[in-house]
Amino acid sequence: MAPAMSHRNRLWSRSEIQGLIADGRKIIIFRGQVLKADAWLPYHPGGDKSILHMVGRDATDEIAALHSAEAQAQMQKYVIGRVHGTWENFLPPIQGGIFRLPVSKNDGDEALSAETDASSSGTSTPSSTVFDIGQAGDQVRLRRTGNDTPLSTASSLLSSETEPRQFGHVETSTAHAISTDVSKYPLLDKMSQDEVVSKYRQLDEKLRSKGLYQCEYSYYAVEFARYSILFALFLTFLHYSYYTLSSICLGLFWHLLAFAAHDAGHLSITHGFHTDSCVGIFIADFLGGLSVGWWKRNHNVHHIVTNSPEHDPDIQHMPFFAISSRFFSSLRSTYYDRVMKFDAASQFFIKHQHYLYYPILLMGRFNLYRLAWLYLLDPAQAPRKGPAWWHRHLEMAGQAFFWYWFGYRTLYLSIPTWSSRITFLLISHMVTAPLHVQLTLSHFAMSSADLGVHESFAQKMARTTMDVDCPPWLDFIHGGLQFQVVHHLFPRLPRHNLRRAQKYVKEFCDDVGIPYVIFSFTRGNKEVISRLAEVAEQLRVLEECRKVAAKDLIQGHHRH
């Protein structure tokens, strides 16, 4: 017992942890303890990428927000020691942090390499889109800054320079955007961020004391009644050959079910890992043809690096959408492990993205099928061992069941003609488009700036997310996704308690000086379309200036 205790109580210096990370170890700080997650990495039900984004960081708030008490207790198996005092974050290797082995074991923090010093300072390639959020009384207003440069000056960024120089000007504009964003939020110094962290944790305790983490199953009884009515109507209309009405009911059924799958994915129904996972698989795979395993892998990363163009898969929709001119430089996605090429197709779609936003989202469900199968068929994504090893097999069974009842029994056997089948397929899937609007609404219009590793989890979540205001009787249509600020701060909070928690979150934001952004559904949509239109206009100006530069270059050659 004594050797084990001494092993767990070993005090690690900063340079020693730097050396472990340089040697490829996956070191995470959690409540002052040092976790070595290497052995767990392939078995993590939420995928490896969410862990990799926490390497070298104090991940206390991220872990507590996304994991149950039981899961946190299991992490004690991976404790190799502790650190003294408050940990200063490194930039994780997956985000570009550079680490070197210490010269010797006795080297202190002074021996850190220049590259590692840059990593720990929190500087990284910044994102470009920043929204300057100001508070005026009870009203929140958004004023675009930074890369949302007035077109009269934007053309000067790209006059007759070479392409690298052109994007250099964009990065200069980005730096200004970041400084503007910083000016509207609590300072990034240790004292200010410690206060945000402390009060965020106090808020979490308050929500627990008020019982808001407890799921009231009576709400799900009402939800189940809605699901049952819609499914019964789908079958009834299908039986009597009212195919359009049947497809609409089926689409609404899928739309509402997605919210319950989201709840299960966050373990906010029963809070039991396998129970909620099976509920999610039954809903997503068996009834909807989607993959809850893919969703967990994707969504966990989204909740950690929200709105980061390089890292957040939920805003990586190239070639169709770009919410930041950062995408013009063909960023490399750390989630997909590939470059998101800014090619001819991207230029076409992004120039018209504010017009294509809704038409493309009408087809969003088909993309979810594609992503589900890419996940289930890729051995590198779905865990093959560990507690969730059998979930993939259950999901595969669910996929077979879905395509049997929907693809074969419904589309092929129950509908007589191919034209009717295609119409049914399209209508049923397009009816689910409001879900995709809701998923993008709370993030597309918010900041995508990288403020560095010193920004607290709570501040980053509130800065990159907005709420949608609606009357309580419409909550079931939005499915809890209208409370995205609350949800991102407390992901495991049951959906039906989010409205009750909202007032406490507003009080927290007022207390620490974080603007709480909330818009009506209509205003939120206008903000998103406006954001897409501005990025499209930036691209148009970029192309015009590139043409002028090329023309000047050619004329210069002719003159000489």
State the pTM of this model. 0.86
Q: Are strands 33-36 and 332-333 parallel, antiparallel or unpaired?
A: unpaired
Place of tokens 């939420």: 46
Averaged pLDDT score across all residues of the chain: 86
Cβ–Cβ < 8 Å for 170, 147: yes
- Tens digits of residue pLDDT in 318-341: 999 999 999 999 999 999 999 999
Confidence band, pLDDT 50/70/90 cuts, at residue 102: confident
Distances (CA, A) of 341 to 60, 63, 163, 327, 537: 35, 33, 15, 8, 19
Among 56-70, 164-178, 482-496, the range scoring the smallest mean pLDDT is 164-178
**Mean pLDDT across the stretch 186-193?**
93
Half-sphere exposure of 536 (CA within 13 A, CB side): 19
Going from the N-terminus, what domains does the chain have, and what CATH number goes with each?
Answer: 11-95 (3.10.120.10), 190-521 (no CATH)
Residue type, 467: D
Q: Is 36 exposed, middle or buried (0-12, 13-18, 19+ CB in 10 A)?
A: middle
Residue that wins the pLDDT comparison between 485 and 85: 485
- What pLDDT is stored for residue 473 in this prediction? 92
- What pLDDT is stored for residue 560 in this prediction? 57
Among 126-135, 161-170, 431-440, 528-537, the range scoring the smallest mean pLDDT is 126-135
Cβ–Cβ < 8 Å for 106, 34: no
Distances (CA, A) of 49 to 45, 330, 334: 11, 21, 8
- What pLDDT is stored for residue 382 in this prediction? 83
**Mean pLDDT across the stretch 97-113?**
61
- Tens digits of residue pLDDT in 149-174: 333 333 333 333 445 544 554 565 56
- What pLDDT is stored for residue 297 in this prediction? 94
Task: Give the bridge partners for 338, in sequence order.
Answer: 333
- Tens digits of residue pLDDT in 4-16: 556 788 999 999 9
